[in-house]
Chains A and B, each alone.
Chain A
Amino acid sequence: MIVLWTDALIYLLILVMLTLGLYLRGKEHIKRPLQQIGRSKIGMVSLVVLLFFMLIGLLDSVHYKPADDKQNEIISLLDDWATPLRDHGEKTYSAPFATTLYSKEMTALADGSMQWGYPRLEFGGRHLDDPETQRITDILQKAAYGFAQGAGLVVFFLVLLWGLLAEQHKRFMRSSTAKTVWAVVFVIVSLSYSSIYLSGYYHIFGTDKVGEDVFYQAVKSIRTGLVIGTLTTLIMLPMAIIFGILAGFFRGWVDDIIQYIYTTLNSIPGVLLIAASILMVQVYMANHEADFTSVIVRADTRLLFLCMILGVTSWTGLCRLLRAETLKLREMEYVQAASALGVKQGAILLRHILPNVMHIVLISVVLDFSSLVLAEAVLSYINIGVDPTSYSWGNMINGARLEMAREPIVWWSLTAAFVFMFALVLAANLFADVVQNAFDPRRSGNE
């Protein structure tokens, strides 16, 4: 097993989340909001979708060198699982579920004569003798078969769970939220089984310019999106929160210094900083070639630095908001009451100020998460985003951009990236909304 830098950070993140969850389990006043999230249908559904994305991202973060390695290649668990998808490369563009290429070519027929037409794909629909007549029924059959497999699996687990559960938990399972969650799990698992099964025979999202399966690209991009979204936020958050609160609470010279830092940082165009740091990383990698032998290690280092520099350039906005809010809060009477009670300043910051600015943090983190995933797409435009060899929705959109003008239009790369990105960002937004509602004592309870 090989642990890349971003892998390690993802493991660390998950570990932190788990310990936090265990720590908060015993807290009486945290339990109530958590229960409220548990009762909210939207919250649980978006959580399931998020967990599904995270599971894929996690599978894609376990890297190793395959035993029968010939090209010094590092692959992930997900790659291993999706080997057919990786190997089923075509020559160039083909539409979703197509059996032929998207453009006409000269092909040699069996009798040696040449023909101008759409050549059959190497893998997509190979098993069909007469695509014209069999294709639709075959697709439907295979989709239904895959769906049935997934459905069977979910039902099997449900029955198993039902048998193992104690009576008191069964009541919980009968609640309408639990039913909705299971329905969503059912749909997600069945649909993914169906698409996995289908993609063994077809390119369900078509292929791109070099003939690579777009479905595979989109799934692989999940990890990149998650990494950029979460790691950048993790780098940005501590800086924004610490600096913002300190500046607002202590004012005076502390405020002056922090304000100087962020106005200076803000006045430098972010793109310039990002370009500079990415170039530096590239130069470093070129000078130390021995350490970066594999393509994937190089791409990973670049991704890590992209996250860092995005984090460093994007904390100023939140910091400014938090400073303003803290300036307001420090004059509140409960803060004065606390200092009259002899509470130390650090404790006031932690117990009174921080919880009362958390709603701002949560809102802007979710908005930033979405905009970071999108920013990556924009940065890929000017070639300072993630490595061109690694999969990301940005790279997919960037590649598809050139083909938008083509007649007939090549729409599937863009659509696939859009659908995946949309699902992730929407789920994150909805979930954050529910969390924020639940943790605001003034709003909880009146749903």
Chain B
Amino acid sequence: MNASIILLLPFFSALVILLGHRQLKGAAVLISVGSSIISFIACLALLAAADDKDNTKLLLPFLDVGFLHANIDVMIDKQSRGMMFIVSFIGLLVHIFSLGYMKDDDAKPRFFGSLSLFMFSMTGIVLAGNLIMMFIFWELVGLSSYLLIGHWYQKASAAEASKKAFLTNRIGDFGFMIGILLLFGANHGSVNIEDLTTAFGPGGPLGVNAPGHSAGFTTAAALCIFLGAVGKSAQFPLHVWLPDAMEGPTPVSALIHAATMVAAGVYMLVRMSFLIEASPLAAEIIAGIGAFTALMAALMATQQNDIKRVLAYSTLSQLGYMVMAVGAMAMSVQHGHELHGPDPGHPAMFHLYTHAFFKAMLFLGSGAIIYACHHEQDIWKMGGLRKHMPVTFYTFAIGTAALMGVPLLSGFWSKEAVLGVAFDSGCKVLFLAGAATAALTAFYMTRLLIVAFFGKPRTDASHHAQEAPLVMILPLGILAIFSLFSAYDFFATPLQAMKPPHVEGHQTVFWASVLALLIGSGGAIYLYRGKNKDPISIKLFANKFYFDEMYAVIVRVCQDRLAWIVTALERVFVDGLVARLPTALVARLGAATRMLQGGHLQGYTFLLGGGVIAVIYLVVFVLPRLGH
């Protein structure tokens, strides 16, 4: 019951608003915010009923034919409950924040309609009980992301960014679909997540030691599924869409491109961890891609000047962290590390959970700044905001501290869990990459904080900045509280599944993260204190390793040029051989029988019709009689 409210309410809200927003006008906002409030309450009820048994229930039929059962199944367990809380809670706060941020936007109803569509699609991913349902909503979040990034579609950059996001995700979905097909085939038509977990688990017919197990197949299926996460969670090499997605309104960046949708890839991987655990090679590749993304994006972040871009690269980097944790966790399971407790949490989910709050808060904080500075996003044109916007400053500082992993804040615990599992994975490179990323994170976040909030205002915009209105500050404050405490048991009781049990004996990990924090922020304070322009300039990082340029060449050569060549070949050969050549031959022949040609198409068509009938008549009525 609760699950169907959470899922279907935003659907109807989106449908009503998107199809009728010119008639609805202001009511659209009420419908959307109202539906998100009710969803949140229903979600709390779902959490309160956490003692109920985990289950998968059929909610709505979709496709049910033969042994294909691709329906809307709702899967309620610890992970989906926890994730549902993140989605509906941050969703609600972002709806409230948007009331202020989008106040003067002409297309406000369309914005809120798309936001409801997003809430619907994201809920679908979280509750999905089978992979086809997951894929359906996976694509739908892609659509809502497309609509929201392109909210200001009149701007060429926004229009291009939305297209880029959709297409990059499509490449990921290409792999995801292949993975689903392989699992569908191997598991005899069931893509139910519980069934698959049993089939690939220890003792299952496709598990590691079973006769039906094929290492190559398992790796291929795991990597295909992973490609879906690479697209949605913006991992290397499909990471390029996420920074551009910052063209969307800032509340959207907070909700979709920081806290929830981009984390869906990680959520899906954790759901599919049975598959990754069955393949050592896939686990290593996933951990490697995650670590590489984390490090690479952190390097890029150090040289960005747009406040949202710094946060976007930071999101990339943190997503890399989570993906690395997924891979590393599978590796340590393969190495036989015992998991503690009856149903231990997953470090990737733990980091996803803490990250969702502080990163959403940082984005909303940046939104408040952008709003106050009249849509100025360059941090070097800010400065001194600490005095003008105290609430924003303090909350932003808390978020920054949590992200950097200052001890005792939420981010510290989850980062330590990630580094701990990297340490346990038996691959020292992962751990080192994780520690280096932690240092870089501390560096770029301290840089952002100093340049934007300290010193003197560098432009009029920042000089006249004023604290944002209450509807915008309130969500910041709530999220700040979560950023501080969300990792603690008293806060996270309904969300235990997120939190792995405390792992003992990781002195190395603890000191490494503290050291990384000191080096990173110390370096940034030393370099950036009192500066009015960037003292260091590294073109490679500022230009994002030239990925966009490389991909532009690839698209130009492999797609547009190829399309041009194929079109030319198709015209010459196919049309030439199949149509023109026979036509020419017939024309020669026809020169002799010119008499018949009158030159009117009507006549020809008539002849053709008559001819066909004549042939039918001959073949049907005359030929058989000749036989007798």
Same complex: no
